Amino acid sequence: ANRYDVLQRYARSLRRTYLEELERLRRWSPQDAEALKPLKSYLTRMQRLSESERVRLSEAVKNSRALAVAIAMRDDLVSLWERSNASKEQLVRELQEWCQRAEASGVGPLAEFSRRLRCYA
């Protein structure tokens, strides 16, 4: 799989996490759920966020550990893919480490994505 395909699949995984967390917040904290709604596009974009977008997003997900973890892991994955000066072996090793962290994160869709990604690594 190429970089674009992997990142697109991650975006789908993040959407699933977003929907699960939105539903959870609706039950426990409707105000937090409403604050999260307009940020869906930020969550699934696979490029770097501006500083103002990052601040807004971090404020909106402060009550969602799953989304905070998924967003941090997204940023790590994007950074990993952007390392053009790393050797193939180094990239594979870093991708495997990323997968281990994703699977240990406790975020179901993220762990599932990681297991599928290991097939390519």
* Res. 103 pLDDT band, cuts 50 70 90: very high
Q: DSSP string spanning 47-103?
A: SPPPHHHHHHHHHHTTT-HHHHHHHHHHHHHHHHHH-TTS-HHHHHHHHHHHHHHHH
Q: Measured on CA atoms in the order 19, 116, 118, 47, is the torsion positive or negative?
A: negative
Q: Measured on CA atoms in the order 42, 43, 46, 49, is the torsion positive or negative?
A: positive
- The answer to whether residue 120 scores a pLDDT higher than 70 is no
Alpha-carbon torsion, ordered 94, 96, 102, 105, to 10 deg = -90
Query: For the chain, first and last CA: distance in Å?
Result: 9
- B/e letters for 73-111, b = 16+ CB within 10 Å, e = fewer, are bbeebeebbeeeeeeeeeeeebbeebbeebbebebebbe
74-91 tens-digit pLDDT: 889 888 888 778 888 998
Give the length of the chain.
121
9-34 tens-digit pLDDT: 888 888 888 888 778 877 877 777 77
- The answer to whether residue 2 scores a pLDDT higher than 70 is yes
Give CA–CA dist 21/65, Å, rounded: 9
